[in-house]
Chains A and B, each alone.
Chain A
Amino acid sequence: MERFFAKVIVTLKNEVKDNRALVLDKMLKNLEIEESASFSTGRFYTFFVSAADLSNASEKINYICKEILSNPVVEKYEILSIEALK
């Protein structure tokens, strides 16, 4: 078994209103820093998994993201990286 290190980000789907992002957009506009920042907020996770190979690790990470870290009804996730540890 090998060890893999995953970096994952979970954000709201585009059709769900992101209140925090809207506040940040408005703040940057009011401060005259950026007219249209189009923020998107979410949660960032890093974790380790044990798997036979990269493909199994990817399957396991996808399962964790889909069933535990996100709710597919309102959220989407993106696996930023999967690194095999030496």
Chain B
Amino acid sequence: MKAAVVVFLGTNCEVETKRALEFCGFEAEYVNFNANNLDNYDAVFLCGGFSYGDYIRSGRLAKFTPVVEALRKYIDKKRGVTVGICNGFQVLCEAHILKGALVENDCSKFICKNVPLELKFNGIVKNISLPIAHREGKYVCFEDVYEYEFLKYLDNPNGSMQNIAGLYDCKNRVMGLMPHPERAIFARNFGYDGKEIFKIVEEEIKRG
């Protein structure tokens, strides 16, 4: 399985995302923001950090890059699975690839901690914990997104609507989540629960 790790100007989680993917059995390579074809990849990861200084709002300017245009074609063709982590999730929402938007946390502070979550996927319900690190991570949506929820906060640290921490649009195979699974892979960090997310991505790629 080959995964693309998209690097925008300001992305800063590409190294750990690539490392985590390789640890989970993927073949991963960096893809620059000006790439215009993603058809060689089974999965595309938009990773965390910032994009273009997050000017105007988080993820706003990245939607105009050639790689996001290529991503739209990739999704239309149903070529593979798209995953947006933290800033990547914000980019997916700003580009209207996923429903809703991410706004400032209710506490107006940057939250950086490990949080308990409920993972619900394909009939499996599991409690896991993953680290979050964001200031604009409160998910809001005024449409029905019930079918897309797969990851929920147990203590809702940022005020997200319906405790949503992550969404998965199974029709288009697009996933977005605020917690960082790539930071919870190696023992020295926040445990091993990040593997659960990469396992889901792997299953979805195999499902075709």
Contact = CB atoms under 8 A, between A and B. Distances in A.
Given A15-B142, A17-B159, A71 B106 contact: no
A75 to B, nearest CB: 8
Interface in B81-108: 93-94, 96, 100-101, 103-104, 106, 108
B56 A73 contact: no
A1 to B, nearest CB: 24
B142 A73 contact: yes
A64 to B, nearest CB: 11
Nearest to A43: B56
A61 B108 CA distance: 31
Range class of the A interface residue count: 10 to 19
Range class of the B interface residue count: 10 to 19
A18 to B, nearest CB: 9
A73 B106 contact: no
B140 A69 contact: no
B15 interface: no
Interface of B: 56-57, 60, 93-94, 96, 100-101, 103-104, 106, 108, 140-142, 159
7 contacts: A20-B108, A23-B108, A68-B56, A68-B60, A71-B57, A73-B142, A74-B140
**8 closest Cβ contacts across the A-B interface?**
A73-B101, A74-B101, A19-B108, A71-B101, A74-B103, A19-B104, A16-B140, A74-B140
Given A23-B108, A73-B96, 6 more contacts: A17-B106, A19-B108, A20-B108, A71-B101, A73-B93, A73-B140
Interface of A: 12, 15-17, 19-20, 23, 43, 68-69, 71, 73-74
